A and B are shown apart, each in its own frame.
Chain A
Amino acid sequence: EPEVTQTPSHQVTQMGQEVILRCVPISNHLYFYWYRQILGQKVEFLVSFYNNEISEKSEIFDDQFSVERPDGSNFTLKIRSTKLEDSAMYFCASTRESSYNSPLHFGNGTRLTVT
Chain B
Amino acid sequence: KNEVEQSPQNLTAQEGEFITINCSYSVGISALHWLQQHPGGGIVSLFMLSSGKKKHGRLIATINIQEKHSSLHITASHPRDSAVYICAVWGGADGLTFGKGTHLIIQP
Chain A interfacial positions (CB closer than 8 Å to B): 33, 35, 37, 41-45, 47-48, 56, 58, 89, 91, 99-106, 108-109, 111
Known contacts: A58-B95, A103-B48. The answer to whether A43 contacts B41 by CB under 8 A is no
B35, B41, B50, B96: the one contacting A111 at CB < 8 Å is: B41
Q: A43-B86, A43-B88, A56-B93 are in contact. Are A103 and B98 (CB under 8 A)?
A: no
Q: How large is the interface on B (under 10, 10 to 19, 20 to 34, 35 or more residues)?
A: 20 to 34
Q: How far is the CA of A45 from the CA of B88 in the complex (A)?
A: 10
Residues of B within 8 A of A111 (CB): 41
Give the shortest distance, in Å, between B46 (CB) and chain A (any CB): 9
Nearest B residue to A104 by beta-carbon distance?
B45
Residues on the B chain within 8 Å of A44, using CB = 98
List B33-53 residues whose CB lies under 8 Å from chain A. Answer: 33, 35, 40-45, 47-48, 50
The answer for the CA separation of A46 and B23 in the assembled complex, in Å, is 22
Q: Which of B40, B45, B47, B98 meets A43, CB within 8 Å?
A: B98
Given known contacts A43-B43, A91-B43, A109-B42, A56 and B86 CB-to-CB distance under 8 angstroms: no
Q: Using CB atoms and an 8 Å cutoff, list the residues of chain B in contact with chain A.
A: 30-31, 33, 35, 40-45, 47-48, 50, 86, 88, 90, 92-101
With a cutoff of 8 Å between Cβ atoms, the chain A residues found around residue B44 in the complex are: 106
A29 to chain B, nearest CB (A): 13
Q: Is the CB of A42 within 8 A of B50?
A: no
Q: Which residue of A lies closest to B86 (CB)?
A: A43
Q: Point out the residue from B41, B90, B98, B99 that lies within 8 Å of A99, measured CB to CB.
A: B90
